[in-house]
Structure 1
Amino acid sequence: MASSSHPYASLTNPEIKYDVFLSFGGEDTRESFTSHLYSALSRETVETFIDDDLRRGDEISQSLLDAIEASSISIIIFSESYASSRWCLDELLKILECKKEYAQIVVPVFYRVDPSHVRKQTGNFGDSFLKLEERFPDKMQSWRNALTEAADLSGFDSLVVSPESALIEEIVNAILKRLDDTFHSENEDLVGVRLPMKEIESLLRTGSTNVYKLGIWGIGGIGKTTIAGAIFNKISRHFSGSYFARNVREAEETCRLGDLRQQLLSTLLNDGNVKNFLNTDLNFQSRRLTRKKVLIVFDDVDHPRQIKILVGRLDLFASGSRIIITTRDRQVLANCGVDEVYQMEELVHDDALRLFSRHAFGGDHPHESHTELACKTIKYARGVPLALEVLGRYLYGKRREVWENAKSKWETAPPKGIQDALKISYDGLDDKEQNIFLDIACFFIDEDRDTATKFLDDCEFFATSAIEVLVDKHLITISVLNKIEMHYLLRAMGREIVRQESTNDPGKRSRLWHHKEVYKILSENRVSNNDFSFLLFE
């Protein structure tokens, strides 16, 4: 698994391309131990760099130095011939430099050589090393120091762990553990993910041998895709095949679902010959998939047919497979037969302030002069990550006057980026459901559900079933006291939809809720029996 960030100590971290860099002496391990270790790492989807250039000159190539720097972990395979190669010793110097500068993890493997011989440059290992002294006297001391330092690190000894298959298994398991341990640092830029990830990992029951299907549910912009991506990056290496199917809803809307299916099957089956025929029978691919333990994320699904088109049935995969579906509609998860639904919650205040500050101030905390304004802004965003990011980017570098003016403007209507993201769920409603949503946004927030339902049913809106749909799509919630509740941003979105109905003629608005607007319309005698659904006062 390649990653673009890593827990390096330096502020100018190199871009990470490889999980592991293999450093080894070619003659005595390339075709045996090193090749077996490389294959074992690759089977676990550990992105591993191995140098296939058998013709080495005196100078280590820049591309090789770059590969070392672009790796999370370096495995040094010390064999008897390792110290006879200037190339290997210069690799070692670079690896230890990266350990110091970027906190790169270094794992020594002593292959048929005593660790003390490497540490002290004695025995056959030392004899090979001494042959370089005549040619490179100025390098010997730095190489000696490097060999001593590397040999003092915790590693693996082939004279202690045998057979080689067991040694390789131990090394691979240790590398997987180290990569997992670094995950939290790799995702330090993600705010508020620690608890959700812990809870979701527990739900995924990684020790279970069954196929397990998990739904992640919440409103637009709440962070479903982000958390699913973080989980995917952390655990994907433990599966024989993995795929993150992004923007499934959008793929269907733009007629790209067939392309997405081809990419998914090609990746999972490691087969570039999978054909892109949307109506092709999946039976053959299904038989092949039943033999693979896979991890798949279906991102932003809004209808179960999308899953059926992509893979057929979710229970066809091998034991231990994990399926994650993100959606705004809980009913989709029920129709897909998920085992558990995880509801994404808004960020708590401290995390919301931290995320907003990163986008508005370029750091984890607001500027002292803007603390009060920042707190007011995050109160408006109500813990929705997308809203915090959009507002922060808009306000970055702006004067206090702009902040204050923007805050007043947003009380009337959310910024476009937020409005567009939230409106996707509204657009998926039928006409009656849309009308009920708008009525609730304008009039029925904090009202008793039964009272509101009776009122709306009297208007022939069939509110009982419609309210269930709104709950499933997370457009409203019902409190323990049976009150109808709605996220502040969704309320603002609904009211903005009503306002936009009458851009040119305010008298044609279908709903009025503010006493000043009601007074203006009535005083101008501009209302008739058919102009408004309701006239209520705040």
Structure 2
Amino acid sequence: MFMWDLIWSNLIEYSLSHRREAKFIQNIVTEISLKLHLINWSIDEKLVGMEERVKNVISSLQVESEDDVRMIGIWGMGGAGKTTLARAVFDHISIWFEGKSFVENVRERSKGMGLKELQRQLLKDVLNDQSIDVNGASDGIYKMKKMMPGRKVLVVLDDVDHIEQLEALAGELTWFKPGSRIFITTRDKQVLVAQGVHVDNIYNISLLSDEEAICLFNRHAFRSKFPIQGYEEKLSRRVVHYAAGLPLTIKVLGSLLCGRTEPIWLDTLKRLKTIPLKETLKKLEISYDGLEEDQKEIFLDVACILKGESKENAIRILESCGFHAQIGLDVLEQKSLINIMYNGYLGMHDHIEEMGRNIACRLHPGDPNRHSRLWVKEEIEEILVNDLGTEDTRSMILNYMDIHPAIVMKSLRKMKKIIFLFVNYYSLPTFFLKKWKIDVGGVQYLPDTLRCLIWADYPFFCLPKTFQADNLVYLKMPRSCISQLWEGGERKFLKKLKFVDLSYSKLRTFDLGMTRNLETLDLRSCIDLVELQIPVPLPMLKVLDLSGSMVSNLNLEMTPNIENLRLKGCEDLVELQMSVALPMLNRLYLSDSKVSNLNLGLTPNLKVLELKDCYYLQEIHAPVGCLKNLTRLNLSGCLRFEYFWFGTPCVDSLATLKLNAESLDICPLHPNSNLPKFKFRCIYNDVLPSSSGNLEKLLSFGLCACTNLESFSASICGLQHLTALTLEGCIPELPKDLWKLESLDRLTLRIQEIKHLPDCICMLKHLKSLDLGFCGLLEQLPMDLGGLECLEELRLTDCTSLRDIPDSICQLKCLKLLHISRAGICCLPKSIIQLKHLKSVDQGFCELLEELPMDLEGLECLEEFLLRCSQGRSIIPSSPI
């Protein structure tokens, strides 16, 4: 009845006056039909996983609105179901439009004289006039501009790959009548961006979930919703795992295996490990074929070598090999050939990786030593051991191999054109030297063509004497035995070298006079390093990391453009000379050093200043306006610190301040801003002064090492802009008006004595992260925990006195992470299965946990479920996960 009430309420505009009764009735019938059609969401059951996707697209279309013309993009990799989704939406809403046209396979059909044929089809479909003719693309544009604005139309342009196609078929929104909707499916997001499609109207099609994939596979392999008994776990899921959510692969394999016996299924799965599915490769290669030649090379390097590498490092490596990596990777991402994962690393669908590696081997399928890229462990071992290297090899990656370095270097003599070499052993180099008993004298060799050299655990004391390194741009040798770059202290100028990582090596000195174009130098944890020589200007140097070294003095006179300086843990560093302007320096890390005085007068753009545990630090000098960009200042552990001279106005942007002390002294920050005098008293059990509540611009307030602080003043609740709050120590209770921290999104409590949380915590409507780890006496969570409607992360690690979690947890619709390892939880609430966005659950070593809730398979987004038990214990879910 509600549905009919809704429909009739929208028909009140109809009036019988001045109209014939038959026409009046016809209008009402038409309107009701349209309403019922939109309300009926049912999708063909063969289109597995489409119903929810169709709903999401249609709900954003506002098809009843005639205020504007909208272009909608459906973007994704080949075979992901873009056309299927567009067709389902088209069929479902086309009744709302006065004209409609579904133009298929624009990419192929537009070649040659095809554009005018596509224009003719579009005009004929929309205007329902088969007599329309188009003499050329320009004539087609003219006729579309003239004829289309009179009708509200629905148009789908399927598989577009060039902006020219859109310019001919839907060049401007003004071509169409308000209320029209234009769909564009493409593998290349840049086509949509260039056409001006709003980012909110670009729909990135998602691959199928495991359960959707199983359902689709069953329909093609068994012609049923359910598999034949005995095939489900043992075989079907293995096939679906191989398909990795790609509908095209699932359909092809399902049809291929339909009616086959179990041995054929097993043989097919075995074959797929080495021979990719031809139909999938053919579909995916369309995107590869559309790349420029240099972009193809970048793609093959990612598929064979760099998948899983950080984007930042991949750009460095590719640029060192002569590629325009920034634009290259962007193009690959726009064309759905790669994706940048949430942590900034390069991702690639398994089948696209498979396709790329197949292309790399295609020229010489049975002769791997002729391949341009070598990455298969067994093939590389065969080539190296038998000395079969050739000049065809351009890149090689040796990962976790049991081959002596001398053998590797010997084989490299035949790889005279190699530019990228990656070597990473799984154990210390000395292991090989003892095991192989090979004299390494005279065997050291590296090709002069190398541009990028990555060799972890390099076993020799220097680079080969014969290695000229004139082309070397990127050198990374962490944990190496190198004590000097060249034997006998020889000086070779490396004019192209930009990036050096010799961290954890045995270097004693390093001469930057040999690397005048260096941009990044990483010598952290070189515990024997006592001197860094900077005899010449280094205008390109931006990042310098000497953390953990034995350097005692550093002069930055020759590094005017340094941006990031890391000297953390330099326990012998007593002087940092900054006698010239350092306008680019924005991060300075000096924690655990012996610096006693610091002059920041020439660092106007400093954002982060880390001085934690600088026990000898007594004075910091900062003239007027010099620290106006400072956002983080850490002075915790600076127990001799007496004086901080700030000019005024200054540090208005300070976002994080960490202090702890062993005296009643006042730390004078600048007097005329929102950071007046910050008095900190910890070990005398005093409360925080009321002045702390005036720090309205303070965004993160950490009480570090305040283990004797017994109470926490409610005045902290005056920090209206506070976004992160950390409380540690022996505070017995939290202030009752904590809810006033309206901007708080991260709350971390490391409080030993607290047993209950105030109910007001549930009023923190913007809180995203609640970390109660190590609150060992915490017995109960607020019953209205579900009131934290934005909460994404809940950590209850080592809350050993906590026995249960309130049922209201089911209301945390945004919750993605739940970690309760080593807590005293006896059972999880059954309502946990309602947390549809939950991705990570860690309940390891919960000794009192007896069983898991039923139907955990209902957690559709779950990616990680850690269930570790003490030896001899087991936890059985009531229903299989």
Aligned 8 A contact 1:514 1:537 in 2: no
User: What does residue range 418-497 of structure 1 map to in structure 2 within 5 Å?
Assistant: 418-497=280-359
Aligned to 1:503: 365
Q: Specify which of 32, 51, 63 is matched with residue 206 of structure 1.
A: 63
Aligned to 1:46: none
Return the structure number with greater relative CO, CA threshold 8 A, min gap 6. 1
Structure 2 distance, partners of 1:354, 1:305, is 39
- Aligned-pair distance for 1:495? 1.0
Structure 2 distance, partners of 1:446, 1:269, is 51
Aligned to 1:522: 384
Q: Secondary structure at the match of 2:160?
A: coil
Q: Specify which of 177, 192, 199 is matched with residue 318 of structure 1.
A: 177
User: What does residue range 38-437 of structure 1 map to in structure 2 within 5 Å?
Assistant: 163-180=21-38, 184=42, 187-208=44-65, 209-253=67-111, 255-281=113-139, 282-339=141-198, 340-371=201-232, 372-437=234-299
- Aligned-pair distance for 1:517? 0.7
| Segment drifting more, 484-493 vs 309-318 | 309-318
- Aligned-pair distance for 1:524? 2.5
| Segment drifting more, 439-448 vs 167-176 | 167-176
Give the counterpart letter for 2:219 in structure 1.
R
Q: Secondary structure at the match of 2:100?
A: strand
The superposition leaves residues 211-246 of structure 1 with CA deviations (integer Å, 9 ceiling, x where unpaired) of 011000000000000010010011111111110000
Change (3 A) 1:258 1:531: same
| Segment drifting more, 314-323 vs 254-263 | 254-263
Aligned 8 A contact 1:438 1:495 in 2: yes
Q: Secondary structure at the match of 2:202?
A: strand
Aligned 8 A contact 1:507 1:531 in 2: yes
Aligned 8 A contact 2:370 2:392 in 1: no
Structure 1 distance, partners of 2:47, 2:250, is 13
Aligned 8 A contact 1:261 1:311 in 2: no
- Aligned-pair distance for 1:182? 5.3
Aligned 8 A contact 1:381 1:387 in 2: yes
| Segment drifting more, 276-285 vs 293-302 | 276-285
The superposition leaves residues 456-496 of structure 1 with CA deviations (integer Å, 9 ceiling, x where unpaired) of 10000111110000110111111121111111111111111
Higher helix share: 1
The superposition leaves residues 326-385 of structure 1 with CA deviations (integer Å, 9 ceiling, x where unpaired) of 000000000111131000001111110010111111111221211121101101101111
The superposition leaves residues 101-133 of structure 1 with CA deviations (integer Å, 9 ceiling, x where unpaired) of xxxxxxxxxxxxxxxxxxxxxxxxxxxxxxxxx
Structure 2 distance, partners of 1:297, 1:203, is 16
Aligned to 2:403: none
Aligned 8 A contact 1:413 1:493 in 2: no
Unaligned runs of 5+ in 2: 1-15, 401-881
Structure 1 distance, partners of 2:394, 2:263, is 37
Aligned 8 A contact 1:413 1:492 in 2: no
Structure 2 distance, partners of 1:370, 1:359, is 14
Aligned 8 A contact 2:368 2:379 in 1: no
Q: Secondary structure at the match of 1:204?
A: coil
The superposition leaves residues 71-100 of structure 1 with CA deviations (integer Å, 9 ceiling, x where unpaired) of xxxxxxxxxxxxxxxxxxxxxxxxxxxxxx
- Aligned-pair distance for 1:537? 2.7
- Aligned-pair distance for 1:279? 3.5
- Aligned-pair distance for 1:286? 1.2
Q: Secondary structure at the match of 1:333?
A: helix
Structure 1 distance, partners of 2:359, 2:137, is 39
The superposition leaves residues 168-220 of structure 1 with CA deviations (integer Å, 9 ceiling, x where unpaired) of 211112233344455615x1221001111111012222243200110000000
Aligned 8 A contact 2:188 2:335 in 1: yes
Aligned 8 A contact 1:476 1:484 in 2: yes
Aligned 8 A contact 2:46 2:219 in 1: no
Higher strand share: 2
Give the structure with higher Rg (CA).
Answer: 2
Aligned to 1:134: none
Aligned 8 A contact 2:41 2:55 in 1: no
Structure 2 distance, partners of 1:348, 1:530, is 41
Q: Secondary structure at the match of 1:369?
A: coil
What TM-score results when the alignment is normalised by the length of structure 1? 0.67
Give the counterpart letter for 1:349 in structure 2.
D
Structure 2 distance, partners of 1:509, 1:273, is 56
- Aligned-pair distance for 1:499? 1.9
Aligned 8 A contact 1:218 1:328 in 2: yes
Structure 2 distance, partners of 1:403, 1:426, is 30
Aligned 8 A contact 1:251 1:257 in 2: yes
- Aligned-pair distance for 1:528? 3.1
Give the counterpart letter for 1:368 in structure 2.
Q
- Aligned-pair distance for 1:397? 1.4
Structure 2 distance, partners of 1:447, 1:531, is 21
Structure 2 distance, partners of 1:202, 1:352, is 24
- Aligned-pair distance for 1:276? 2.7
Aligned 8 A contact 1:412 1:492 in 2: no
Q: Secondary structure at the match of 1:215?
A: strand
Change (3 A) 1:467 1:491: same
Give the share of equivalent positions with the same residue, in percent.
36
Give the counterpart letter for 1:378 in structure 2.
V
